[in-house]
Structure 1
Amino acid sequence: MEKSKTTVIIISVLAVALVVITVLLFTEKQTNKELVQEFELEKEDLENQYTDFAKQYDELKLTVSNDSLSVLLEQEQMKTQRLLEELRTVKSSNASEIRRLKKELASLRKVMIGYINQIDSLNRLTAYQKEVIADVTQKYNSASRQISDLAEEKKNLNKKVALAAQLDATNIEILPMNKRGKKAKKVKDVVKFKIDFTIVKNITAETGERTLYVRITKPDNDVLTKSASNTFSYENRQLAYSIKKYIEYNGEEQNVTVYWNVEEYLYAGAYRVDIFADGTLIGSQGFTMD
């Protein structure tokens, strides 16, 4: 009887122990399952961080124009992608590797912050340089305009000085003469032209010997000349002249007379006399012969 009672007690104890062990095993399994899920979530979160980190390098590279810095960013991005690939091959339960890759990510983050600060400094410097360049360009353009305006003013002043220094022929009179030295009434009687004119006083004009060219133009615009080689320069071309006259100019008013001996056929119509000096037309006068 005593033996049977002992057996019952042992069986009861074993049953209780079995229940306790079963409960403990179930609890441990449940705990392990929860830990695995937690590790998987942690790994997934870490992968997302690495992926976002790699994308941030793409965005950073778009803001950089410095080639050396672009190379460094590319290297860091490749390192991030390599660590991401390692993470994807690591088991969720490998806590030591997960911790290592977390530390690697923290180190990469510090490096990126350094690059961001460097890029920000470069961008501020670039913006400042652009402002300086824009300011210098504006000042240069302003100075160029002032120089251009001054050059134009000087050019206009030189023109005015040149115009003021030019000789001027006035009181131009043309007398068609017959063989008796009198005024010819008919064109057929003209044997000579007497041309009188006055070089006016000009204290700004250069003194010394000057050459005057007189052109007598017929009604058909043909110029009376003794030789085809009798030409002078005027506005980048050669013009034929009828008479060349040397004078000694002293700045004072001076009367000049020249003659043209008629050796060609003349006909009735409007004639013109033009007087040139120093490559400039200084006087003109038309006359008509019947």
Structure 2
Amino acid sequence: MKRSNLVVIIIAVLAVALIGTGIFIYIQHKQMSDFKEQVEIDKQRSELEKEYSDLAAQYDQFEGQKMMFNNDSLVEKLDAEKVKVQRLLEELRTVKNTSSARIEELKKELATLRGIMRHYVMQIDSLNAANKQLREENAQVTRRYQEVAQTASQLKQEREELTEKVTLASKLDAVGIVVTPIDTRGKVAKRIKKTDKIKISFSIAKNVTAEVGEKYLYARIVKPDGDVLVKDRADVFPFEDREINFSCRKLIEFTGDELNDVTMYWAVEEFLYPGEYRVDIFADNYKIGTRSFILKE
């Protein structure tokens, strides 16, 4: 082989080697560049995933406040944006071969979604402020209502107490009650078997607030065993929403001035045994006096 042909062959071999080396270096560089680009994409996707996750958490925070918004349109928009954020977040979590162009789109979308979120936050803050003011106003109204109700209740109680005082002030008062057993000659009976009548004497005190006019006075003579002396069980009068028996009664004309020498009699027609008796006097649905006395054997 000629020397010139050998040189050509060597040069050709070297050229091929250089070309191959260049191709290899280019492929390696391309792979390295692609790898770095993928690493960067994965990093950005991971960062975006976290940011979308944080944004989704912000929407979740509003779930418990929706009932307070009292704004169906706002709630509907919040739900729509929340679904959108969750959909994009799911894409970041599941799609592994995301392109750099898609990453850029997701970044722009994130910026837009954050802007929308800020707008909603402003609306929600405004609604919360309005609701807070309404709650404070309602609390003030409630307090005022309670104060008025308490005042009305107090006035009612005071009125009832005043009415009760006026009513009590108008009650008649039997004073100087004297109970005397007398015999058939009108003398004081010393012994029960000599007693023909039981005389009840008293006065009605002056009372300018009491209603004037004719009034019945009732006397109940209570025996030591608690039973009441009566002639007829049908002899009753009203007292504290019920009917009770009386022993004797007397019709008087009351003018508001003191009424003296009021006398009532009980005719003894039954067996009386010794002991402590009691006379209760009533008028106008009130017990106006009481007096105990002893009957000796």
Question: TM-score, normalization: structure 2?
Answer: 0.85
Deviates more, 1:62-71 or 1:137-146: 62-71
Give the Cα separation in 2 of the matches to 1:185 and 1:133.
80
Displacement after TM superposition at 1:103 (Å): 2.6
Q: Deviations over 1:2-37 (max 9, x none)?
A: 976994777777766665555444434332322222
Deviates more, 1:143-152 or 1:225-234: 143-152
The one-letter code sitting in structure 2 at the alignment partner of 1:266 is L
Give the Cα separation in 1 of the matches to 2:180 and 2:96.
124
1:215 and 1:275 in contact (8 A); partners too: yes
Alignment of structure 1 residues 66-77 onto 2, 5 Å: 66=68, 68=72, 69-77=74-82
Q: Deviations over 1:142-186 (max 9, x none)?
A: 222222222222222112111111111111122222112222221
Q: Which of residues 141, 156, 164 in structure 2 aligns to 1:151? A: 156
Give 5+ residue unaligned stretches, structure 2. Answer: none
SS of 1:246's equivalent? strand
1:288–1:42 CA distance, 2 compared to 1 (3 A): same
Residues matched between the structures, number: 290
Provide the residue aligned with 1:234 in structure 2. 239
Q: Which of residues 225, 244, 248 in structure 1 aligns to 2:249? A: 244
Q: Deviations over 1:206-259 (max 9, x none)?
A: 111111111112222221111101112222332210112111111011121222
Give the Cα separation in 1 of the matches to 2:201 and 2:96.
120
Q: Which of residues 174, 185, 189 in structure 2 aligns to 1:169? A: 174
Q: Residue 263 in 1 paired to residue 265 in 2?
A: no
Provide the residue aligned with 2:34 in structure 1. 32
Displacement after TM superposition at 1:107 (Å): 2.4
Q: Which of residues 156, 178, 182 in structure 1 aligns to 2:187? A: 182
1:177 and 1:194 in contact (8 A); partners too: yes
Q: Residue 195 in 1 paired to residue 211 in 2?
A: no
1:87 and 1:98 in contact (8 A); partners too: no
**Segments ≥4 residues shifted beyond 6 Å:** 1-6, 8-15
Displacement after TM superposition at 1:88 (Å): 4.2
Provide the residue aligned with 1:44 in structure 2. 46
Give the Cα separation in 2 of the matches to 1:128 and 1:172.
71
SS of 2:211's equivalent? coil
Give the Cα separation in 2 of the matches to 1:224 and 1:93.
112
Give the Cα separation in 2 of the matches to 1:53 and 1:65.
21
Deviates more, 1:219-228 or 1:15-24: 15-24
Displacement after TM superposition at 1:43 (Å): 2.0
1:185–1:90 CA distance, 2 compared to 1 (3 A): closer
1:43 and 1:98 in contact (8 A); partners too: yes
Q: Deviations over 1:97-131 (max 9, x none)?
A: 33333232222222222222222222222322232
1:31–1:79 CA distance, 2 compared to 1 (3 A): same
1:200 and 1:254 in contact (8 A); partners too: yes
Cα RMSD of the aligned pairs, angstroms, is 2.7
Provide the residue aligned with 1:282 in structure 2. 288
Q: Deviations over 1:40-84 (max 9, x none)?
A: 222222222222222222223234434735554333222222222
SS of 2:67's equivalent? coil
Provide the residue aligned with 2:132 in structure 1. 127
The one-letter code sitting in structure 2 at the alignment partner of 1:223 is V
SS of 1:65's equivalent? helix
Give the Cα separation in 1 of the matches to 2:172 and 2:285.
11
Give 5+ residue unaligned stretches, structure 1. Answer: none
